[in-house]
A and B are shown apart, each in its own frame.
Chain A
Amino acid sequence: MSLRGGFPVSLIRYVGSRIIQSVPVLFIIVLVTFLLTNQIPGDPVSIFLSPGASPELIAEVQARYGLDRPLHERFIAYLFGVVQGDLGYSIHYGMPVTEKIIERLPITVFLTTCAFAFAIAISVPLGVISAKRRNKPTDHISRIVSLIGVSTPSFWIGLLLIIIFSFYLGLFPATGLVLPWADPETVRGAETRLDILRLSIHHAILPTIALGTLQMAQITRIERSSMVESLREDYVLLARAYGFPERTILRKHAFRAAQLPVLTIIGLGLSTALGGAVLIETVFEINGMGRLIIQAINNQDYELVMGTTIVFGVTYVVGVIVTDVLYAYVDPRVQYGGEE
């Protein structure tokens, strides 16, 4: 495979136009979130203040939080804040929402990235082998396994993993997550960077498997059907007719073009995985974005719910842009439209 040198101008243009295209999407995310959160029953002021507060005090607090203004004005004000990175103030934690999210977001991103790394590392070879040995026993087994994979609730896998590997075998911890770049002084039981890394891997394995299984199964299925399709293409026939060995055909001629649908499904799977993170963080008691949103809801912490929802959306959009760029990198035809 010949990698093209550097990122051509057209690719940069493509990235630019993709970012521009997602602006309206981001706007709608903020709008939908804002409207939904404003539907939440229960006045946040009443939560913040004791029941016997005087009307003046209520009015003052409402004014401070801008709740006395009409909805559209509040939305515009909020939107301006969002654009500047200000997602409001968390009543429960007593700190700006943005700060809280900056604290939690890396954990969720790390977990999701691990899950995809795990999923891709297993599914791509499995799908390719399955396609190569189509309708042979290997293929049947891999198909059934991946079908079970897409049918199993991720949080249940988490529970089973905890029961087996933490409680019975005692191999891995049942709760928590350590970021590999965490400061050794803030982590209990760690003294060196190496300790951190070891702890990080140790903690990450079970949640990664729980979150990644669905993606793995999904990608295996797509990889298989896409490779089957690709192996039927004329250019594969041609490669055979020119005497390329099967191995080269599989790894090179058929493989690259077959990754396009796979990238698409990874992009779509991001949504499932980020949502799944909410479940997995709950199961493994990991303090990431998912647990944050559930806690925020239970504490009726309004602006924090809004902020986390929006950041979830933004994370997804960024992930999709990354896969789109990868797609454009694999498929030269995509950028073509961008060139003069």
Chain B
Amino acid sequence: MTGKPILEVTDLQTQFRTDNGIVRAVDGVSFTLHEREVLGLVGESGAGKSVAIKTVLGLIEEPGEIVGGEIKYKGETIYAVEQDADGTPRPTADSYTDAQIRKEIRGNEIAIILQDPMESLNPVYTIGSQIRDVIELNRNIRGSQAKAEAIEILREVGIPDPQKNYSEYPHEFSGGQRQRIMIAMALACEPSVIIADEPTTALDVTVEGQILDLVTDLRNKYDTSFIWVTHDMSVVAELCDRVNVMYLGEIVESAPVREIFYETKHPYTQALLRSIPRPDVKQDELQSIAGVMPSARNPPAGCRFHTRCPAAKDVCQQVTPPLEDPESNTGSTTDGHTVRCLQYEPFEADYQESTYIANKANPDGIKTDSQLPEADESETIDESDAFEKTGEPILSLKGVRKEFNTNSGLLGPLSVSFSRGVPQFEWSNDVVTAVDDVSLDVYPGETLGLVGESGCGKSTLAKTIVRLIEPTDGSVMFDGETLSDLTGEPLRKKRRDIQMVFQDPHSSLDPRMTIGEIIGEPMRVNKLYDKETRRKRVYELLEKVGLNKEQYNRYPHAFSGGQRQRVNLARALSIDPKVVVCDEPVSALDVSVQAQVLSIMKDLQTEFDLTYLFISHDLSVIRQISDRIAVMYLGRIVEVGSTSDVFSDPKHPYTRGLLESIPVPDPDVDTNRENLSGDVPSPINPPSGCHFNPRCTAFIEPEEYAGHPLWDETLAFIRAVERREFIADSASAVHEMFFTKELSNDALGSIVSEAIDLVVDGEWETAYERLESAFLAPSICTQSVAEYNINGDERSVLCHRYAPDRAGFGEETY
């Protein structure tokens, strides 16, 4: 490892007393964090990761208690638990007191970053004052000096205008920026260790990528060690040096990151890795883990994974395996490669063969027959690239547009301002265009994947299709009829053919209805069949989605997330629809359960002859299930094509950036995120022309600079000025930073050097305005929206680069 041990945790045990018994959330967890190391703590929800790190910081509250273990920081025991005479656990005498831990450890030695930056920043204080308070508390700096320090750190984490942003409130920042602020707060204490609890889970994938890059930079700069808690193997692959895999309160495997991926030992880790859909290759199989994680209240005896383990033997039910290194037998639990399994070796042959090994051998992801693992067929997703569009589209959107008013109500749009004490009235109504002129065809039998970041309008589009909301403009054709023209009974009849599967397993089932009532509801409200037939059909559907008929009379609260999504599917299928719109159906599920639901969906598609419109923000999932893909950005569809085409050759700059930014669950794959920076702009006031233009690296120069050799460098400079990404000491330094050659002696050169001078003088805004009006405003990209251009038969791309009259100006130059 890179350095000496800094944080050593031994046999940590934390439990919660509840009405229904004791929950051992963390049960004997040990790990060691070394200097300059990023230690991953991975597991599905309920594995006890968060509780483990809260225990380390002593943040466990009633009814939780620490009942065992020892925590050493820099060689010194800060907390250890012993049992007193009557068996109640209490801290040993040499443990730090609460006040000591608070003053000496928290913040200044170990800082933390939490998952949801909106919840963890205090909404009623400015971000600057929050960081300043933390600095004043944990370092010997006060007042204006602390403020200066806070501003400096905000700049460090990429907050564009820290001087001004210092006195702004959390709600004025985007999710990604807020997480940067959280990181700034952690760094502000100059800690040796930063614990990050799922810090990127709530963020969009492009923003997540930016945060991961930032952390990688900072870690090299500050020599900070990290404990990175996550459920996402891709993040682990990208960031971590060493990984601990947790299952039901225990660490089941601990190894350096490459060994976790390439020499996986524990069946759980293996299964977990196999169930992850990959964005970079099309997988021939996606294997899921059977069942769900048991309750921590009542963990299985013996090996806790035995209830779901395909390799479990009788002995696994009785003997609790230790966490040890099978090769060295030293019993060390914190170095090397340890695993908690009775039969780590030898595994059955097919089990050893991880798809990752296969991928490594064959980096292009082209599979040969011999590499296809012979796993059981029923749990695999059958992929066939060879989907042929046949006949007329079953569902066809033509110029669909949906606008929302931001101010509603009688006097909502009326606003008043005072100018010299005289009230000025203003009648203004901001319109958000959630879906902007979308045309899309869906063919019978296919799965069309609709992908986009949050807020891009994909859910609005789904709701418009099923007529949950009325489009402002445009039409939805279904099976030869225009849905938007139908009303009353004909509409209700037609609507049966388009059903929907919803995202949130908690809110999509009425908690006061039984599962049977829920699945039977569509038949009931449509007055289909008699009562007995309905009941029989519900039984059939239950079996089809992998539930059983005994569950007919249960209430949703007795079901897990994955089971609820199955009920959701069954409900949608109960009235034999032709098209099912799936709005993020697996996003709320753990990765192993995700695979189960996806594979059921695939089976049902064949069986019921369904057409899916599958909406997701997760490109990996989309890749595994879709025949064709549509990419959405700020209300518009920017690219449509077959899955293999789009992934192998993305055309739209946004699609390219998006594909690049996804972390891949493979430590050997480097993620390059140069092409997508910045945040998604607000849909209230989207950028003019092509909505993507402010983030685009393929931005087209204005006519007068066509083909200018310095254009690319100029564009990079403009973006950097806009985001104030650099420190401008002198004109020559700035020049050197962005330009490889001397500035040319033309209009472009003179404007740029003028801007450089302005920047050096600190006039960022003026500099940007100057550059913007000279280079961005006259460009076609800010002036108009491109047409949908068809490249070949199947591809359409909403980008000026691919305009037909720009032949030859397409891919080569970019």
Contact = CB atoms under 8 A, between A and B. Distances in A.
Touching chains A and B, CB distance < 8 Å: yes
Interface of A: 1-2, 9, 12-13, 16-17, 19-21, 24, 233-235, 237-245, 253, 256-257, 330-333, 336, 338
Given A13-B418, A242-B106, A245-B102, A237 B124 contact: no
Contacts of A17: 414-416
Given A235-B122, A332-B124, A243 B102 contact: yes
B169 A238 contact: no
Contacts of B125: 1-2, 256
A337 to B, nearest CB: 8
Most chain B beta-carbon contacts within 10 A, residue among A235, A238, A245, A338: A238
A241 B122 contact: no
A257 B120 contact: no
Nearest to B109: A243
Contact of A256 (B124, B169, B410): B124
B138 A20 contact: no
B655 to A, nearest CB: 33
Interface stretch (B110-118, B282-290, B309-317, B453-461): B110-118
Nearest to B425: A20
B545 interface: no
Given A242-B106, A243-B137, A336-B171, A234 B417 contact: no
B411 interface: yes
B59 A241 contact: yes
A330 B124 contact: yes
Given A17-B416, A20-B411, A237-B59, A244 B137 contact: yes
Contacts of A21: 411
Contacts of B120: 234-235, 237-238
Contact-residue size bin, chain B (C-beta under 8 Å from the other chain): 35 or more
B123 A234 contact: no
Contacts of B418: 12-13, 16
A31 to B, nearest CB: 16
Interface in B129-188: 129, 133-134, 137-138, 169, 171-172, 185
B121 interface: yes
A333 B114 contact: no
Interface string B317-338: 0000000000000000000000
A241 B112 contact: yes
Shortest Cβ-Cβ A-B pairs, 8 listed? A243-B106, A234-B119, A242-B107, A243-B107, A16-B416, A234-B120, A332-B169, A241-B112
B753 interface: no
Contact of B171 (A20, A240, A330, A333): A333
B123 to A, nearest CB: 6
B119 A235 contact: yes
A338 B415 contact: yes
A240 B106 contact: yes
B57 A241 contact: yes
24 contacts: A2-B125, A2-B129, A13-B418, A17-B414, A19-B416, A20-B411, A24-B410, A234-B116, A235-B119, A235-B123, A239-B122, A240-B102, A240-B106, A242-B106, A242-B138, A243-B103, A243-B138, A244-B133, A256-B122, A257-B124, A330-B124, A333-B123, A333-B169, A336-B171
Given A242-B189, A243-B138, A336 B129 contact: no
B423 interface: yes
A333 B105 CA distance: 34
A240 B60 CA distance: 11
A253 B423 contact: no
Contacts of B123: 235, 257, 331-333
A235 B111 CA distance: 14
B59 A13 contact: no
A242 B414 CA distance: 44
B30 interface: no
A9 B419 CA distance: 10
Contacts of A330: 124
Contacts of B116: 234
B108 interface: yes
A252 to B, nearest CB: 8
B261 to A, nearest CB: 31
A257 B138 contact: no
Contacts of A257: 122-124
Contacts of A12: 417-418
B124 A238 contact: no
Contacts of B126: 2
Contacts of B416: 13, 16-17, 19-20
Nearest to B189: A242
Most chain A beta-carbon contacts within 10 A, residue among B103, B111, B120, B414: B120
Interface in B66-125: 102-103, 105-108, 111-112, 114, 116, 119-125
B415 A13 contact: yes
Nearest to A13: B417
Contacts of A338: 415
B634 to A, nearest CB: 20
B134 A20 contact: no
A234 B411 CA distance: 36
Contacts of B169: 332-333
Nearest to A240: B59
B154 to A, nearest CB: 16
A253 B119 CA distance: 13
A217 B618 CA distance: 51
Nearest to B101: A243
Contact of B114 (A237, A253, A331): A237
Interface in B556-601: none
Contacts of B134: 242
Nearest to B129: A2
A331 B125 CA distance: 9
A244 B105 CA distance: 11
Interface in B392-442: 410-411, 414-418, 423, 425
Contacts of A16: 416-418, 423
Nearest to A338: B415
Contacts of A1: 125
A253 B122 contact: yes
B363 to A, nearest CB: 41
A21 B415 CA distance: 10
Given A1-B125, A242-B138, 17 more contacts: A16-B417, A20-B411, A20-B425, A234-B120, A235-B119, A235-B123, A241-B106, A241-B107, A242-B107, A242-B111, A242-B112, A242-B185, A243-B107, A243-B137, A245-B102, A257-B122, A332-B123
